[in-house]
Amino acid sequence: MDQTPKDTPAGAKAPRLMEQVHAALAARHYSRRTVTAYRGWIRRYIRFHGKRHPREMGEPELTAFLSHLATVRRVSASTQNQALAGLLFLYQDVLRLEVPWLKDVVRAKRTHRIPVVLTPAEVKALLGALDGTPLLAAQLMYGTGMRLGEVMSLRIKDIDFGAREITVRCGKGAKDRRVPLPVRTAVALRAQVDRALRLHAEDLAVDAGYVELPYAMGVKNPAAARDPGWQWVFPATRTYIHEKSGEERRHHLHESHIQKKVAQARRKAGILKHAGCHTLRHSFATHLLERGADIRTIQELLGHNDVAVTMLYTHVLNKGGCGVLSPLDAGDF
Rounded-to-integer distance, Cα 34 and Cα 86, Å: 9
Q: Which residues are catalytic?
A: 147, 172, 278, 281, 304, 313
Rounded-to-integer distance, Cα 281 and Cα 142, Å: 6
Of the candidates 95, 99, 28, which has an alpha carbon nearest to the alpha carbon of residue 63? Answer: 99
Bridge partners of 240, per DSSP, are 249
**SS3 letters for the chain?**
CCCCCCCCCCCCCCCCHHHHHHHHHHHCCCCHHHHHHHHHHHHHHHHHCCCCCHHHCCHHHHHHHHHHHHHCCCCCHHHHHHHHHHHHHHHHHHCCCCCHHHHHCCCCCCCCCCCCCCCHHHHHHHHHCCCHHHHHHHHHHHHHCCCHHHHHCCEHHHEECCCCEEEEEEECCCEEEEEECCHHHHHHHHHHHHHHHHHHHHHHHCCCCECCCCCCHHHHCHHHHHCHHHCECCEEEEEEECCCCCCEEEEECCHHHHHHHHHHHHHHCCCCCCCCHHHHHHHHHHHHHHCCCCHHHHHHHHCCCCHHHHHHHHHHCCCCHHHCCCHHHHCCC
Q: Which residues have C-beta within 8 Å of that of residue 245, sequence separation ≥ 6?
A: 210
Instruction: Give burial (CB, 10 Å; 0-12/13-18/19+) of 119.
Output: middle
